[in-house]
Structure 1
Amino acid sequence: MIQTSAAFRRDTQGLDGSISLSEIISAFSYALDLTEGALHGHALRSCLLGMRIAEEAKLPSEQTGSLYFALLLKDIGCSRNARRMSQVIGGEDSVAKSVLNSEDWTRPHKPSLSTLKLLWNNVLPEAGPVARAARFVRNGVARHQNISVLSSLRNDRGAAILNKLGMDQIAADAVRSVEERWDGSGYPDSLKGEQIPLLARICSVAQHLDFTSATSGMQSAIDTLDQRSGTWFDPELVRMARSLHRRGILWNNCSPADAEQDTRQAVLDLDSGMRHQLEPNQIDRICEAFADVVDAKSHFTYSHSQGVADAAFGIAQAMGLSRDRAQLVRRAALLHDIGKLGVANAILDKKSQLSPQEWKTVYEHPRITRRILERIAPFREMAVIAGEHHEKLDGSGYPDHLKAPDLSTESRIVAVADVYAALSEDRPYRAGIELDETLSIMSKLIPTQLDESCFEALISVVAGQREAISAPTVVVAGSPLGYPFKNAGFKNTAFESAL
């Protein structure tokens, strides 16, 4: 059996007792920036900006912890509306998000020239001029309705995930109301003035400051804030932000040019009075919540991460891994696709063949997964396992074309579980494959691409599952592995296309 290195084992000792919530969330905020289409470090800088405004406003200490995590997690629902954004614009969902974050919706019938150019250049990019013009006009007519639906999807989902993470209701309400506007023109409830939760008003100012400064500079961010005082933003919070700017306090470690490690350390230093160790079940809950964020990006991957985790955990147990190692495998499987938050829905949901450039983007997502997870020191081994889920024993996998000697038992387990789940699910270009055919396809990849011992363990888990539920041939929905298997009649001719 291939073993992990002794160095990795030393690195991960005490995993469940030496990490705080702020360390995990501040690292995972990078994944949320990818989904939001924001400049790298957006959530961290927004947190610093918002907390400085809160200090100026003398926010009660019992609310500062809630604001801190609301600022870091305000975009956690953004994957939920990514597919709808892609459908609405007919192109990159990140373009729609850019418009949503920058356009002044208090002037609904007067979009800026820059917004119109951005939309025109990106709507249905592969279509002809007539189809593009028709979609462009249709989007303009339905703009208010589209934005209302998208905001509701995002903000309700974000609040629900904060509740799942165990955050208090104050933080959840702040995330849900972050797109409300002072004059009542915002979403999702058209709240006005002080009806909007104070924490949401602070989050709104902070995210505007970072978005605008990243594209147009700090002075422009302050000027735009002034222009929208009393329409978008609470005038008193605008006054405080302007005062902090004038005194040279507002932007410390908040420039995109600042080193990310310095910005993140400044964010972690703010948490010194609230810092607490996480229990193993809390770490599991965080991993599960972010797996939900990943899977919500496309309905074709709904519950995929949980399914891979269930399968991987079952394989690990069947192979006799210790409880700690099996739990490590499960967590790596839950988070293996977190790098897909940086892949546009126009690619993920595409029904036709991907272009070489689109494949290049897809091939990078395991590397991005690894980069996100390795920001958390005790997650370094998990980062390697999760980042290798598309590698194959013969070197035909990606992104690094690793071969058998380079791949640990844990990495091999997650790779087998991922293929098993991917073949079983509906994809844009085919329906899910029934169980017997899934196993038949996988058997042809043994031992060249997939590990034989891991595959045999999977078969034993499936056999035990079948016996437990007394099903004649097909596993039903709600099974221990979490997958309904469909008799699609699909004949796989190109294995890579199935993934």
Structure 2
Amino acid sequence: MAQTSAAFRRNTQGFDGSISLSEIISALSYALDLTEGAVHGHALRSCLLGMRIAEEVNLPSDQTSSLYFALLLKDIGGSRSASRVSQIIGGVDRAASAALNLEDWSKPHKPSLSTLKLLWSQVLPDAGRVVRAARSLKNGVTRHHNTFDRIGIRYDRGASILNELGMGPIAAEAVRSVDERWDGSGYPDSLKGEQIPLLARICAIAQHLDLTSAAAGMQSAIDTLEERSGTWFDPQLVRIARSLHRRRELWNNCSPADAEQDTRQAVLDLDSGKRHQLESSQIDRICEAFADVVDAKSHFTFRHSQGVADAAFGIAQAMGLAPDRAQLVRRAALLHDIGKLGVANAILDKKSQLSPEEWKAVYEHPRITRRILERIAPFHEMAVIAGEHHEKLDGSGYPDHLKGSDLSVESRIVAVADVYAALSEDRPYRAGIELDETLSIMSKLIPVQLDADCFEALVSVVSSERDATVPAPQVAGSSLGYSFKNRGFKNPAFESAL
């Protein structure tokens, strides 16, 4: 018999379920850092740096909140552009993703030696030199277009998500214009000088300061900032940043060596709206937005998280879970793969067999999911459920090889929904498996790996939908699901043995 969630509830006693927007966003910003390959806490440090600069320019109070969330969410479109870069170059790991952010992409016809070396190291790393050289030449010819495409996708998507979250047009436009340059050489609209929104100019400097200081130190960040004053950056804002640096008021809690808890608390203390608690529907909207971010990471898993959430919610309802428990299951399913943002596209998009080291990175993603969600106090139970979506009743799952007695009903539901998704979705190299065959395959895993009651509930849900002449839910494929080794299919990162 599966354990109840009473033990989980005891861990969260003292919380009334209320939560502020800043608490959720500041925690989920760590997931965005994974996509960027940035040093842990990049979004939080950028927020502190940008808000300190804003205070010096006396930013109007009605724009302060917009800047605050723009700084935390400026990279929220990054997973979409990561997928695009992977398609163009042929594979980019997290370290390279971080390095790409430090390169000067404003002169497409005069690439620096460091840029050329970086691109060569990432172009089709498993291919021969001739193939790699041909792709490098093609990338060089189309580089300006590719850069425009990459940045346009990134920031258009980021602005769209901020609008979906109700952050307002000022915050959305700030995110969209982060890569504009003071001299007009930036993207996506080649805006110049004060045509660039003030909030975007602040975000750009804050981003530069943190990325460069993490790579080369605080003084180097200031020196580079001054070198690019009037070309990349607003000269007035550069002077303000330099003044804060000299007065030793810029970097408090902004070093990667600073305690993570102190940095996040400093960010939370800045939120003037922290006492405004979120409604349940707002929390759902945030979970859905970050589910979209996860699914955009790879073009192989379109709407995967939403599909698993739909299936899990249907199972929970069919099993008679109380409405609040069914809602918990749905939210956990939406965010179950957020740790996948820490897996490089070079692995996620790989169609050939993965190396042991690559599998190690893949197997770690549920643990990363749990660590991210645990940063939000009222999400502790959700974190456990989401982090167990690849565990199996017989202990053959991962990352902790838990057994049936360790797994709650909610965790079992999400696991069944994820396997159903893995078998149901179309993939680039095969069509989705038909419903009857999907259920037949899953039935062979009952009750050794998957829960019988959860599977029975799934069958009732999809059967009733089919009987009502409504197609079964088109859930996207799991990042890691049923193995097709014996079916003649390739074995990319998102299909491992159950």
Q: Which category of TM-score, normalised to the shorter sequence, fits these structures?
A: over 0.9
Distance 1:116 1:20 in 2: 45
Contact 1:291 1:334 in 2 (8 A): yes
Equivalent position of 2:480 in the other structure = none
Contact 1:332 1:383 in 2 (8 A): yes
Distance 1:89 1:179, change over 3 A: same
3-state SS, counterpart of residue 231 of structure 1 = coil
Distance 2:69 2:400 in 1: 35
Equivalent position of 1:311 in the other structure = 311
Q: Pairwise mapping of residues 197-236 of structure 1 onto structure 2 (< 5 A)? A: 197-236=197-236
Matched, 1:28 2:28: yes
Equivalent position of 1:124 in the other structure = 124
3-state SS, counterpart of residue 447 of structure 1 = coil
* Deviation by residue 1:403-438 (Cα, 9 ceiling, x = unmatched): 111111000000000000111112355331111111
Q: What code does the residue aligned with 1:254 have?
A: C
Contact 2:65 2:272 in 1 (8 A): no
3-state SS, counterpart of residue 101 of structure 2 = helix
Distance 2:55 2:22 in 1: 19
Q: What code does the residue aligned with 2:334 have?
A: L
Distance 1:100 1:465, change over 3 A: same
3-state SS, counterpart of residue 486 of structure 2 = coil
Q: Pairwise mapping of residues 258-407 of structure 1 onto structure 2 (< 5 A)? A: 258-407=258-407
Matched, 1:493 2:486: yes
* Deviation by residue 1:53-90 (Cα, 9 ceiling, x = unmatched): 00011101111100000000000001111121012222
Distance 1:417 1:349, change over 3 A: same
Matched, 1:174 2:174: yes
Q: What code does the residue aligned with 1:213 have?
A: S
Q: What code does the residue aligned with 1:195 have?
A: Q
Distance 1:23 1:274, change over 3 A: closer
Contact 1:34 1:342 in 2 (8 A): yes
Distance 1:396 1:426 in 2: 26
Deviation at 1:468, TM superposition (A): 1.9
Distance 2:485 2:424 in 1: 12
Distance 1:280 1:123, change over 3 A: same
Distance 2:129 2:364 in 1: 32
Q: What code does the residue aligned with 1:68 have?
A: Y
* Structure 2 unaligned residues grouped into runs of 5+: 478-482
Q: What code does the residue aligned with 2:105 have?
A: W
Distance 1:321 1:283 in 2: 20
* Structure 1 unaligned residues grouped into runs of 5+: none
Contact 1:95 1:118 in 2 (8 A): no
Distance 1:14 1:432 in 2: 45
Contact 2:17 2:378 in 1 (8 A): no
Deviation at 1:138, TM superposition (A): 2.0
* Deviation by residue 1:68-114 (Cα, 9 ceiling, x = unmatched): 00000000001111121012222215466335421223433332222
Equivalent position of 2:55 in the other structure = 55
Distance 2:122 2:476 in 1: 37
3-state SS, counterpart of residue 33 of structure 2 = helix
Q: What code does the residue aligned with 2:403 have?
A: K
Matched, 1:192 2:192: yes
Deviation at 1:37, TM superposition (A): 1.1
Q: CA RMSD in A?
A: 2.0
Q: What code does the residue aligned with 2:486 have?
A: T
Equivalent position of 2:78 in the other structure = 78
Equivalent position of 1:64 in the other structure = 64
* Deviation by residue 1:111-130 (Cα, 9 ceiling, x = unmatched): 22222222222222111122
Matched, 1:148 2:148: yes
Q: TM-score, normalised by structure 2?
A: 0.94
Deviation at 1:397, TM superposition (A): 0.6
* Deviation by residue 1:196-216 (Cα, 9 ceiling, x = unmatched): 111000000000000000001
Question: Number of paired residues?
Answer: 487
Q: What code does the residue aligned with 2:369 have?
A: T
Contact 1:253 1:262 in 2 (8 A): yes
Distance 2:437 2:263 in 1: 50
Distance 1:282 1:16, change over 3 A: farther
* Deviation by residue 1:226-275 (Cα, 9 ceiling, x = unmatched): 01111111111001000000100000000111111111011011114553
Distance 2:300 2:16 in 1: 32
Q: What code does the residue aligned with 2:459 have?
A: I
Distance 2:14 2:280 in 1: 10
Contact 1:17 1:278 in 2 (8 A): no
Contact 1:213 1:220 in 2 (8 A): yes
Q: Which runs of 4+ in 1 moved over 6 A?
A: 13-16
Answer with 430-439 or 43-52: which moved more.
430-439
Distance 2:465 2:12 in 1: 32
Matched, 1:434 2:434: yes
Q: TM-score, normalised by structure 1?
A: 0.94
Answer with 204-213 or 8-17: which moved more.
8-17
Contact 1:35 1:342 in 2 (8 A): yes
